[in-house]
Structure 1
């Protein structure tokens, strides 16, 4: 999903457009995450990227377009992962493995993740034009895709509150990894290292499968009681 990207200071200026765009995105992510959208002038971003304001207009249209791009281009979009874990014919274990693989892979790129998380926290506290899109693309769309996957596995025709709850519970395993990195490093630093991400993918897949199995058993146990109520009605 993501790729290793050097810090701004480590990159040597090049004249090609792709490099300029990448440098602008890195500079914007750093400054927007530190100062917020309103307090970050485009001139400061251009200077940090080693280019000019005209380059921002050329690549992103304006400041708002650049801000939007920082949410989706450097670490990828959650919405883009949906086809990966909902591919037809996948069993539930492989689907969940792909789900965690996609959402955890960016954690291998620690500096970008920290800045991206800070940016999302700022957006949560100080919403801008991006907030509705973040809710739709990064939250609602992946959630519904996972919930539909669970419905198929559970044999549920209509998505109910329990399916939504199960989907949110599975997603919370990912959110814990993203938002509690400082805690992980303080308590068990070996679990926060980028090299541990593949092991986390396997472990979280197993934990999620246990949740799905628990919900399967709960629904199976509830069916006789439901049929009995209908018979005596």
Structure 2
């Protein structure tokens, strides 16, 4: 006999949680598909229809999650690696030793390298943006990189006992940043010549530790130079 009892009520919030989970997954698929296509073809030559098809999504989902193609591109450019200013608190702390500050700076800088293919696509997208600028890179320099650079300059000045920022402090900060940046730029070369140096998270952590050593030596050299003047 068929029961006439009402259906059992759903668990509170269960459907909402499922919808949110599905939404996060759909948005992520769009981001990853867009990253690959934008990196390969650039902003102008990539259509929203292509992106939606590659993500297995309805084209209207792009408008829903990102507003438009430009909003999607901005999210693709900034979200996977984050903005440089987001990591400032990891190294710019008044009670940190110089090594702790350098560990925080270089460690956070290299952390994305552990994401493998994702970070390679992000690097390709950044190169393409420099060649075919849309304005997003200039915006990140102004709002993300400049504040992060200023924080690094300031903490180096504190540890060197330099009261007034000068060009040599900027040179030192750019040089330390370059130690970490070169791993992104030369990744494919490293993988061809000595892949075991970066093919595991542990290997990347070891390299980060070595870069901290090198950066400490650079700061020491700068201190010696200033004392001899």
| TM superposition score normalised by structure 2 | 0.88
1:23 aligned partner: 29
Alpha-carbon distance between aligned partners in 2 of 1:141 and 1:34, rounded to the nearest angstrom: 30
2:216 aligned partner: 209
1:130 aligned partner: 136
Q: Deviations over 1:52-94 (max 9, x none)?
A: 1211111111111110111221222222111111123111100
For residue 148 of structure 1, the aligned residue among 154, 173, 188 is: 154
Unaligned runs of 5+ in 2: 1-19
Instruction: Give 1:15 shift.
Output: 7.0
Instruction: Give 1:137 shift.
Output: 3.6
Alpha-carbon distance between aligned partners in 2 of 1:64 and 1:40, rounded to the nearest angstrom: 11
Runs of 4 or more, structure 1, over 6 Å off, are: none
Q: Measured at CA, do residues 94 and 50 of structure 1 come closer, stay the same or move farther in structure 2, by a change above 3 Å?
A: same
- Confirm or deny: 8 A CA contact 1:82 1:142 kept in the other structure: yes
Q: Deviations over 1:168-224 (max 9, x none)?
A: 1000111111110111112212112133111011100000000000001111111xx
- Confirm or deny: 8 A CA contact 1:96 1:205 kept in the other structure: yes
Unaligned runs of 5+ in 1: 1-13, 223-233
The structure whose Rg is larger is 2
- Confirm or deny: 8 A CA contact 1:101 1:198 kept in the other structure: yes
Q: How many residues align?
A: 209
| TM superposition score normalised by structure 1 | 0.86
Alpha-carbon distance between aligned partners in 2 of 1:104 and 1:48, rounded to the nearest angstrom: 29
1:113 aligned partner: 119
1:1-233 matches, within 5 Å, as 16-195=22-201, 196-222=203-229
- Which 10-residue stretch deviates more, 114-123 or 128-137? 128-137
SS in 2 for 1:16: helix
Alpha-carbon distance between aligned partners in 2 of 1:82 and 1:218, rounded to the nearest angstrom: 27
